[in-house]
Structure 1
């Protein structure tokens, strides 16, 4: 791709959001916080175009959209980005009794504040949950939220990464063991989708997932029980106690720095 190298219009990328953008499900010992994720993978490609390209990631797992608005938006704007990704509201939508229109109204206010900076803004639709028995019942809520995301994107001239349309994400092999977060395959797929949405040429190819395990009904139900004990029950308990998985977590990349693999030194101004 070197001979086709173009100059991109962005020099500083800041990502805000929750576990999806933090990179939960994609562990990597060489990445800050021990997580890589789609945003790191995406920023690595952009850094190939400009050695001065800088990237910060303020996302923290478990955050609700109002927390993202209160804790991350001003911090993101202070970093003077010209490219911002915001994926927020998913943790709100999956909670029982929440209104996807109200969640979207909060997202509209977040995107409105970020858009005042003049930066290019990436927003994300939610994944089609039809393949996940536990979350299939909220498919309608996700669909309503997604339509609102598209309306917000049109209003604020944002670029949409349409996760609902990604058929790969209907495959369990793209998801981590908790069935809630993407694994390395899934995050790689999102990085590709984000680059494609921005029309950025790249060399990321679709990855072949491992063969599907051969399970009979009894084995599958046993795995469901193990999953529920390990992941679903703790999640429900946290909701009851008003706790969050991100209560003691800080942003893994609070300052703009090189996005190149193995380079975590803070960038000195711009």
Structure 2
């Protein structure tokens, strides 16, 4: 029987996906929990000297993720690293995916040579989404390039693209851009299962679905556009980010 791996120093890098946006918890740094915290909680039960750092900051493009988080992560000498970056780049009007993933490849190379297990993610399949579905092809190309990077450096892939349950609105926050609590809980399960780590996290209990009339759906879409889509576009135009004043919620390795 093969024993499951044990990790002692886990460092999470990335943007809002990894920071935990959409999964509020006032007791935690930045007021967020998220899938990475949930993974760390399980890993902590396997090791007496476990430490966890989360350097992710919402709104970060791939280049700032690398520039701001790579060196601090390396200094912490992790034996497990998770990183997701590029999602915010993909949503910009223009993006050079080949150049983007060249930067990603170099960063993953530096992380992998440390001997740490490196975990990467594909992007989510937006094909079902009314507004963001037009980006589906762009995400698919990005994913193929990411898979090549992972194969080159021996990194592990958590294949978000194939998680069809996320086509259910109940896995998402009200902003429709970030996973909600149920989405983060389910992602923690996917990550732990991919790592081969036993756990007792249960699938989320989803609220009952309520039928909507066409008018109710249209009104909800208009409210979403006014409350979330328009401000997001305005930030892009102004060159600002939701994370401009945000600091990493766990900059140093510490128990959880």
Report TM bin, short chain: over 0.9
Q: Distance in 2 between matches of 1:37 and 1:74?
A: 23
Shift of 1:205: 2.0
Equivalence map 1:1-270=2 (5 Å): 8-259=5-256
Contact 1:120 1:158 in 2 (8 A): yes
Distance 1:168 1:127 in 2: 11
CA contact (8 A) 1:93 1:103 kept: no
Give, in whole Å, the separation in 1 of the partners of 2:235 and 2:210: 31
Contact 1:66 / 1:106 at 8 angstroms: preserved in 2? Answer: yes
Distance 1:83 1:99 in 2: 29
**Superposition TM-score, scaled by structure 2 size:** 0.97
Distance in 2, matches of 1:66 and 1:8, equals 31
- Confirm or deny: 8 A CA contact 2:122 2:159 kept in the other structure: yes
Post-superposition Cα deviations, 1:8-34, rounded to whole Å, max 9, x if no partner, equal 332000000000000000001222211
Label 1:98 to 1:7 Cα distance change in 2 as closer, same or farther (>3 A).
Answer: closer
Residue pair 1:62, 1:244 contacting (<8 A) in 2 also: yes
Task: Please report the RMSD computed on the Cα atoms of aligned residues, expressed in angstroms.
Answer: 1.3
Aligned 8 A contact 2:7 2:47 in 1: no
Q: Return the offset for 1:52.
A: 1.5
CA deviation profile, 1:16-68 (whole Å, cap 9, x unmatched): 00000000000012222110001000110111111321100000000011101
**Offset of 1:202 from its aligned partner?**
1.2
Question: Quick one: distance in 2 between partners of 1:7 and 1:148?
Answer: 29
Whole-angstrom CA distance in 2 between matches of 1:86 and 1:213? 36
Equivalents in 2 of 1:247, 1:30: separation in Å?
Answer: 22
Is 2:55–2:250's contact at 8 Å kept on the other side of the alignment?
Answer: yes
Aligned equivalents of 1:27 and 1:232: distance in 2? Answer: 20
TM-score (norm 1): 0.92
Structure 2: how far apart are the matches of 1:199 and 1:216?
Answer: 43
Higher alpha-carbon deviation: 133-142 or 203-212: 203-212
Q: Structure 2: which 5+ residue stretches go unaligned?
A: none
